[in-house]
Amino acid sequence: MSSSADGDDCDVVVVGAGFGGLYAIHRLRQIGLSVVGFEAAPSVGGVWWHNRYPGARVDVDSLDYCYYFSPKLFADWQWTERYASQDELLRYLNHVADDFGIRRQIRFGSRVTSAQWLPHRQRYHVTTEQGDSVACRFLVMTTGNLSVRRSPDFPGLNDFTGEWVQTSHWPEHEVDLRDRRVAVIGTGSSGIQAVPVIAEEARELYVFQRTPNYSAPARNGPLDVEAWRRIRKDVPGARAELMRRPVGTRVRRAERRAGEYSPAERSAAIEARWNFGGQGLNLVFSDQGTNQTANDYVADFVRERIRATVKEPRVAELLCPKDHPIGSRRLCLDTNYYETYTRDNVTLIDMRAEPIERITSSGIQTADRHYDVDLIVFALGFHAFTGALNSAGIRNARGAAPTDRWQRGPRTYLGLMSAGFPNLFSVTGPGSPSVLANMALGNEHHVDFIADCITYMLEEGYSTVEPTREAEDQWTEHVADCASSLIRLRVKNYMVHVNDDDQSRVFIPYSGGFDRYVRHCDEAKERNFAGFQFI
């Protein structure tokens, strides 16, 4: 690395030190580039550093959700459970950072706040809140889709004399739950994982639910060590196989449409997936995501399970999702979530019927009553997809931000780059399979693509790369086409961009399948990075 008027000079700046950032630093260094990493948090881990709430764990199998680039790493690390806990994932990522000597490359506690493309130098000038200044040829954003939290803005929060925390930004110190009166606000994947664990310790737990979600049992347990040993024998082969899977995991794909089963077979097929646990409930029938009737079979089954578990009919009905199809928001995975509502110390509050009016000095005032609490846990989710990209202050030579042209939904080529932004790569972002697939693998795949692209540029003597406007238009159209028949397009949630004027919808991630996406990338690569223009 050298110094210049714009600060230190390096080949690449990588922003973020989660699954994506760690591998990007390692891989790009491997091809001979000088790399500087910036991470706003004090250490590595990304999502698994920030989301250390009780019950936090992965919702795809540990044997899928890990790095596959190094057979030695795979062999060295034996997971303990089917779904790794946040704590184990954080230890794993620390192990990776140490084992591959990645940590020394990263400036921690450094939040990137501006990245200006300087056309005369063909470099980004990157600065941080803490005063770092670095010029780089390539800027790789591994800033995560779920890394900018949605903060609570309930009136009166400043008056609250108790403690409040956020699942997405859980403090490093221990948060005492024992014998306290606790409120959890938000029942997405995070809230649903946290509630059963908090209920075990709290004196009283009040769960504030706005929209009920479908949740399937995770069926966590000890790791299938035999499976791990089998994979260990041929990690590259296993990796290649995962790349051929529609969601980048070993979850068995749906074989038949719902209509091809007899009623008895249909019930058995749903029950088998339910009993096996995990995200497979999304894949009982091949037409579950596009055919309302097929979807209803699975959704009805879950509602029946909720009613069978939660004996109090009023509470059971409140927990039953009725306004959206199953799988139209991310399917939650839980351990004893519905069972928790049979406990005497747990109360469910329907925020639609009983909205929160304000937080008071001693608790939560709803339209109906006051709840005295000592601790409030907000599980409100994220400014998904664009939050981190926007807050990094990226500007091209014309002073435009990458998302300026995304007013009617994201516009990318392969979800990796946008026209008009030379040498800016975004990892697992909009227009890629992203949150619809195994994101550990998705990160690895994207970083490899970027490394190959830069290698090609170095070999051919190119300085800049960006997609053609035509390639970006075609890809954006293809992303929309893939999603056009999905019933989930009708449901408002963080994966759907809704245009204010005509309420038209754009599905943000690529829903054509991880395997198909990988093929698109391979084809572009084989044709000398077709769709990209190099100077």
- Determine, following the binding rule CB under 6 A, whether residue 211 of this chain makes contact with ligand NAP: yes
In the complex, minimum distance from the CB of residue 374 to ligand FAD, in angstroms, rounded to a whole number:
24
Residues within window 401-420 making contact with ligand FAD, judged by CB under 6 A: none
For 396, which DSSP code? -
Buried b (16+ CB within 10 A) or exposed e, 9-42: bbbbbbbbbbbbbbbbbbbbbeeebbbbbbbbbe
Residues within window 265-324 making contact with ligand NAP, judged by CB under 6 A: none
For 85, which DSSP code? B
Length of the chain equals 535
> What's the half-sphere exposure (Cβ side, CA atoms, 13 Å) at 56?
20
- Distance, in Å, from the CA atom of 492 to the CA atom of 199, rounded to the nearest integer, reads 30
Q: Which of 191, 277, 327, 512 binds ligand NAP (CB under 6 A)?
A: 191
- Determine, following the binding rule CB under 6 A, whether residue 75 of this chain makes contact with ligand NAP: no
Q: Which of 186, 280, 387, 410 binds ligand NAP (CB under 6 A)?
A: 186
Q: Considering only 92-100, 187-195, 221-229, 515-523, which stretch makes contact with ligand NAP by CB under 6 A? A: 187-195
> What's the half-sphere exposure (Cβ side, CA atoms, 13 Å) at 59?
25
- The site string for ligand FAD over 7-26 (x = CB under 6 A, - otherwise) reads --------xxxxxxx-----
| Among 398, 482, 440, CA closest to 118 | 398
Backbone dihedral region for residue 261 (phi beyond 0: left; psi -120 to 50: alpha; all else: beta): beta
* Residue 298 or 394 having the CB closest to ligand FAD: 394
Residues within window 420-449 making contact with ligand FAD, judged by CB under 6 A: 427-428, 438-439, 443
For 258, which DSSP code? G
Coil, helix or strand for 444?
A: helix
- 20 binds, options ligand FAD, ligand NAP, none, Cβ within 5 to 8 A by partner type: ligand FAD
- Determine, following the binding rule CB under 6 A, whether residue 85 of this chain makes contact with ligand FAD: no
- Distance, in Å, from the CA atom of 67 to the CA atom of 13, rounded to the nearest integer, reads 21
- 188 binds, options ligand FAD, ligand NAP, none, Cβ within 5 to 8 A by partner type: ligand NAP
DSSP letters spanning 375-392 = EEEE---B-TTTHHHHHT
Q: Give the Cβ contact number of residue 93 at 10 Å.
A: 25
Coil, helix or strand for 135?
A: strand
Residues within window 468-507 making contact with ligand FAD, judged by CB under 6 A: none
- Strand order across the 356-359 sheet: 356-359, 363-366, 370-372
In the complex, minimum distance from the CB of residue 155 to ligand FAD, in angstroms, rounded to a whole number:
27
* Residue 170 or 406 having the CB closest to ligand FAD: 170
- The site string for ligand FAD over 42-71 (x = CB under 6 A, - otherwise) reads ----xx-x-x----x-xxx----x------
Q: Which of 103, 169, 210, 405 binds ligand NAP (CB under 6 A)?
A: 210
* Residue 56 or 318 having the CB closest to ligand FAD: 56
Contacts with ligand FAD by CB under 6 A lie at 15-21, 38-41, 46-47, 49, 51, 56, 58-60, 65, 111-112, 142-147, 190, 388, 391-392, 427-428, 438-439, 443
